[in-house]
Structure 1
C-alpha cells in the first residue's frame, strides 16, 4: 500500500491564545490548541506508520502535524478535522448559563484547518511546503452562526442583537442575560466564569475560562522572585497570607501590591497587618522590590524552513523533530521556579517572568535551544522577544508586544540569532533595544550594574539626549566617546563602562540599553 506524507496546519494560534483577560485564559488557550492536536493525532493513529511532527504521539502538538500514513489521505484529513470539531462542540455543550444553540454553532465554525499530502519520496517534505503555502491562499469562508437575539426589555415586538464578545469580537456573546434588563449578565453566569458585568464572552472564550486550573496573576508573576529572598519569619507571614487567600479571586501578588479591591473574605484587616509585617521584615533584604512590571517572553527558532529543507529524508526530519520535542520538554521541566510557562512546543515558547529576570530567562531559553541543536551545521538559533509591561496592561496587548519584540529581533539581519527588549510604561512610552546573542554580555552587565543601585538615576537619559544632539551634527566616533566620558565625569557615583562604539548612533543604542536596565529597578511607588 502506498505511503503518503500528510501535513495538517490548524489554528488560529496566536490570536486565540492572546485573546485573554486573565493569565489562566492564556494558559487554557494554549492547552486547548494542544488538545485539539492530540485529538487529531489519535484519529490518525491507526493509519500512521511514522510520526514526524511531533516525533511521537506523546510529543507536544504545536499548530503543525506531519505524519506518514497509509490509506486515503483526503479521508484521513477529513476525519481528523471532524474529530477536532466534535471535541470543541462537546466542550461547548457542557457550558452552563449560555445559549446552547449559539455556543455549539460557534464551536463548529471556529477551527481553521488546512491539509496537504503527497506520495512519500525523497522530496516529499519540501513539496509540502509549497503546497501548504498555496493552500493557505485559498480560504474557506464558512457561514457565520445565525444571530440569536435577546428580547427587548421594553417592547416584546423587538429583539436586540447580542453584544459582541470582549475577547473575540467576531463572535456574539453566548451568555445568559437577566430577563427584562439591558445586557445584564445573569448572576449565575458571572459566578460560574468569574466575570465582570461588562465581560461579554463567546463560546470559545468561555471554554477557556471554564478550565479552572490555578494560574498566578500578573501581580504574582511580577513578584515571583521574592519567595527565594524571604527570611524565615517572612516565609511564615507569606504562607499565612496564601492560606487566607486560598479560593479567592485575588492571590498573594495582589495582596503584596495592596491591590485587594476584588477580595471578598472576612480577613481584610489581618491581611493588611500581614503585609505591613512582611515589608518591615524584608526592608533591608537585598533585591526585595515590589515591582509593578513583569516580562512577557516570546521565543521562536530562526530560519527553520531552510534547516528542514536541508534534511535529506523523513527519518532525518523525525530526528530533528525529536530534538525540538526535547527542547520543549526541558523548557517545562528545567525552567526556574519564578517562570510561568504558558506554551512550549517545537521551537516556540511563551512565558511570563518577573521583569528583573526577563533577560536571564531569555538567555536560558537560548542556551537550552543551542544545546539541543549542537549537532547540526549550520546550527539553528533562537531569537527572543522580551516585553516589560505593567501588571494592569491588557494581556492581549502585553503578549502582542512580546511577539512584536520577537519580530524586531529577527529583523536585525537575515541570520538572526538575536534578542530584542522593549519596555512600555503606563503612559505608553516605549524604549526598545536589540542585539545579537554574541553581544549579550554587554546587556547582562548593565542589568547587574543597575540592580545594585550604583548608577546615577538620570544618567541614561542624559546620554540619550547628548547622542541625539551628536547625531544631528554628524559627530564621529571620537566625539561620541569623549561626550560620554565628559558626562560620566560630572557624576559622583559610578557609571557603566562604555563598550566599543562606531559613532553617536551606537551611543544612542547604548543609552537605550541603560534605560532598560534602569527600568527593571522600578518599585511599586514608581508605577
Structure 2
C-alpha cells in the first residue's frame, strides 16, 4: 500500500463565522463549523485510526464525537484537516475524502434542522430552506503521494499546500441572483448574507401577530431583519442561554464591584427574570456559571437601552411597560450609589506567529503531529484562561483565539495567553532545532468598542488591532500586543508594543492602575496631545525622540497637574513614569497610551466622564 498525505478544507469561513450581526452569531457560527470539521475528522479516524495530523486529539473517539451542547471547555476543531492515509489507489483516497465531506455536510444540515425545530409555528419558504441547507458547506480536498526517502514527507507537504490552493481557485461559481420567476425571485435577501434569500415566509405586517411573537423573540429578529437557513441555525442551533452577551461582559466589572460591596442584586435579578419570562431579555447560564451573581444579558442595566425599550413599549406593547418600569425603578436605586456600568467591552483576537516556518521543519507525519498536539493543548486551555479573567471565549482552535473580555481584565488576559502559547510551543520548537529568536509567539489584538456600535465595526476594530500586532510592515513585526480603541462619536486611538518591550507594557499597566486609584487626572492625555500637535513643528534629533521644547512643556504640565479630584500633586513616581515613556515614544503616542489606559481602568460610565 502507498502512503498519501491528504487535506480537506471546509468553508466558507465568511458565511459560517464572519457573516454575523450579533456576537451570538459569531459564537454559534464558530461552533457549527467546528462540528462539521469534527464529523469529517471522525470519518478519517474511523477509516484508519491514528491517521490524523491536524487535528491530533489525544482521545479522538471522545473529542470528535458530536456535541449536543456547546461545551464550556472544548477546543474548536479548525476547518482545515490533514491526515496520512494508506491506500491501494488514488480512487480509494478520493472515496474516503468524499465520505468525510458528506459527514460534514450531514452534520451541518442536522444542526440547521435542530435550530428550525425550536420555531415550530413560524412559516418558512420550504423550497428555499431545502435548497440552502444542501448548499451551505463548501468542501475542497487534495492529496499527494508521499515518495520514499528522507525528504518525501516534507516535499509532499509543500506540494499538498499548493494543490489545495489550486483546488480552491477552481471552485464552481454559482450566480447569486435568482432567475425571473424562479426559486427565490422577489424574496428579501438575508441580513447576514446578502447572497442568500430569507427563508422566513412572513410579511412585515404579519410579524406583529401575537402568535408569532415567541418565535420571533427567540430568533432575536431585529426590525427589518431577514435570515437565511444558516442564519437561523446560528440563532437557534446552540442553547441561547449558553452564550454571554457583549453587554453582560461590559457590565461585569461593575457588577463585581457591587457584589464585593455586599450589596444585594436580588431586586434587579427579580425584575430581570420577569423580562426573560416575557421574552424581552435572555438568561446567561454558560461559561461554567461564572456570571451567576446576575445571570442575564444585562442590556437593561444601561439606562439608554432601558429608555429605548420603554419608548418602544409605549408605541407597540403596553403589556411590557410595567415590567420595564419595574426594572427602571430597581436600576435607579442601584445607580444612586454605583452610577451606571461602563458601556464598553473588548474583543480579543489572537494569532500565532511563525507557524508556517515551524511546520516546514517537520520532516515526518509524527513531527507534524507533535506540533498539532502542542497547538491543541494550548487551545484546550484558552477557555479556562479567558474565564479566569471574567471573559467568554468565542473561538479557540489551534493558534487562533477570539474572545470577549471586560475592560479591566483584557490586558492581563492577553499577557497570560501570550505566555501560555510560547510555553506550549517551545518544547516542540526546541526538538525541531528552531532558534529561540525564531520560535512561535502570539500576536494579540484588543478591539475596544461601545456596545451600541454595530458588530461589523467591533469586529473590524479587533481585526485591525490584530493586524497591527502582526505589524508586517513594522520595523519589528509579530510577537506584539496592539490595542485599538473606538470612542463612540469620536476618534480611533491605537497602541502597540512588543511583548519583549517591558517598559511600554509596564507603563500601560501602571497608568491603568493609577487611573483606577484616582492618582491621575482624566484630562492629562488630551492636554499632552494638544501640546504635541501645537508644537509639531519642533523635530526630534536622533537618538533623542523627544524635542527639548516638548520635554520642557511636559515637565511644566506635570508640575501643575493634580490627582483626580484635585487632591494633591502627581506622585514623583507617576511623573518619572510619564517622562520616561515620553522620551521613548513622543508626546502624541504618550497621549494615546494614556487614553487607552483610562479606558482599560473604567468600571462605570462616570469613570470616563467627558472623555467619551
> Same fold per TM (> 0.5)?
yes
Q: Which of 153, 157, 168 matches 1:122?
A: 153
* Deviation string, structure 1 residues 237-282 (Cα, Å, up to 9, x no partner): 4544554444443245223213235584854344333323333454
Task: State whether structure 2 residue 441 is matched by structure 1 residue 381.
Answer: yes
Task: State whether structure 2 residue 60 is matched by structure 1 residue 62.
Answer: no
1:491 counterpart residue number: 561
Report the Cα distance in structure 1 between the residues aligned to 2:479 and 2:10, rounded to whole angstroms: 27
Q: 1:142 to 1:83 in 2, by over 3 A?
A: farther
Shift of residue 184, structure 1, vs aligned partner: 6.0
- Long gaps (5+) in structure 1: 152-158, 284-288
Q: 1:14 to 1:454 in 2, by over 3 A?
A: farther
1:219 counterpart residue number: 247
1:155 counterpart residue number: none
Q: Which of 515, 521, 529 matches 1:464?
A: 529
Cα RMSD of the aligned pairs, angstroms, is 2.9
Task: State whether structure 2 residue 190 is matched by structure 1 residue 161.
Answer: no
Report the Cα distance in structure 1 between the residues aligned to 2:15 and 2:172, rounded to whole angstroms: 18
The answer to whether the Cα contact below 8 Å between 1:149 and 1:162 also exists between their aligned partners in 2 is no
Shift of residue 422, structure 1, vs aligned partner: 0.7
The answer to whether the Cα contact below 8 Å between 2:35 and 2:107 also exists between their aligned partners in 1 is no
Q: 1:243 to 1:182 in 2, by over 3 A?
A: closer
Task: State whether structure 2 residue 518 is matched by structure 1 residue 450.
Answer: no
2:101 counterpart residue number: 81
Shift of residue 463, structure 1, vs aligned partner: 1.4
Q: 1:492 to 1:197 in 2, by over 3 A?
A: closer
Matches within 5 A, 1:44-443: 44-48=44-48, 49-56=50-57, 57=60, 58=63, 60-71=76-87, 72-93=92-113, 95=116, 96=119, 97-120=123-146, 121-123=152-154, 124-142=156-174, 144=176, 146=178, 161-178=186-203, 188=212, 190-211=216-237, 212-214=239-241, 215-229=243-257, 230=259, 231-237=261-267, 239-241=269-271, 243-247=273-277, 248-250=279-281, 251=296, 253-258=298-303, 259-260=305-306, 261-262=308-309, 264=320, 266-280=322-336, 282=338, 290-335=341-386, 336=388, 338-375=390-427, 376=429, 377=434, 378=436, 379-411=439-471, 412-413=474-475, 415-439=477-501, 440-443=505-508
Deviates more, 1:34-43 or 1:371-380: 371-380
Report the Cα distance in structure 1 between the residues aligned to 2:475 and 2:8, rounded to whole angstroms: 30
- Long gaps (5+) in structure 2: 64-74, 147-151, 282-295, 311-319, 564-569
* Deviation string, structure 1 residues 332-367 (Cα, Å, up to 9, x no partner): 123326101111110111111112222222112112
Shift of residue 51, structure 1, vs aligned partner: 1.7
SS of the residue corresponding to residue 77 of structure 1 reads: helix
Report the Cα distance in structure 2 between the residues aligned to 1:148 and 1:337, rounded to whole angstroms: 54
Q: 1:173 to 1:252 in 2, by over 3 A?
A: closer
Report the Cα distance in structure 2 between the residues aligned to 1:314 and 1:365, rounded to whole angstroms: 27
Deviates more, 1:357-366 or 1:293-302: 357-366
1:506 counterpart residue number: 586
Deviates more, 1:182-191 or 1:60-69: 182-191
Shift of residue 521, structure 1, vs aligned partner: 4.7
Give the structure with the larger helix fraction.
2
Shift of residue 502, structure 1, vs aligned partner: 8.3
The answer to whether the Cα contact below 8 Å between 1:327 and 1:368 also exists between their aligned partners in 2 is yes
Deviates more, 1:432-441 or 1:132-141: 132-141
Shift of residue 402, structure 1, vs aligned partner: 0.4
Deviates more, 1:438-447 or 1:238-247: 238-247
Report the Cα distance in structure 2 between the residues aligned to 1:192 and 1:224, rounded to whole angstroms: 24
Shift of residue 453, structure 1, vs aligned partner: 2.3
Shift of residue 92, structure 1, vs aligned partner: 4.1
Q: 1:467 to 1:236 in 2, by over 3 A?
A: same
Report the Cα distance in structure 2 between the residues aligned to 1:53 and 1:6, rounded to whole angstroms: 11
How many pairs does the alignment contain? 513
The answer to whether the Cα contact below 8 Å between 2:582 and 2:590 also exists between their aligned partners in 1 is no
Report the Cα distance in structure 1 between the residues aligned to 2:581 and 2:246, rounded to whole angstroms: 38
The answer to whether the Cα contact below 8 Å between 1:468 and 1:504 also exists between their aligned partners in 2 is no
The answer to whether the Cα contact below 8 Å between 1:89 and 1:104 also exists between their aligned partners in 2 is no
* Deviation string, structure 1 residues 159-181 (Cα, Å, up to 9, x no partner): 96111111111111111124xx7
The answer to whether the Cα contact below 8 Å between 2:396 and 2:402 also exists between their aligned partners in 1 is yes
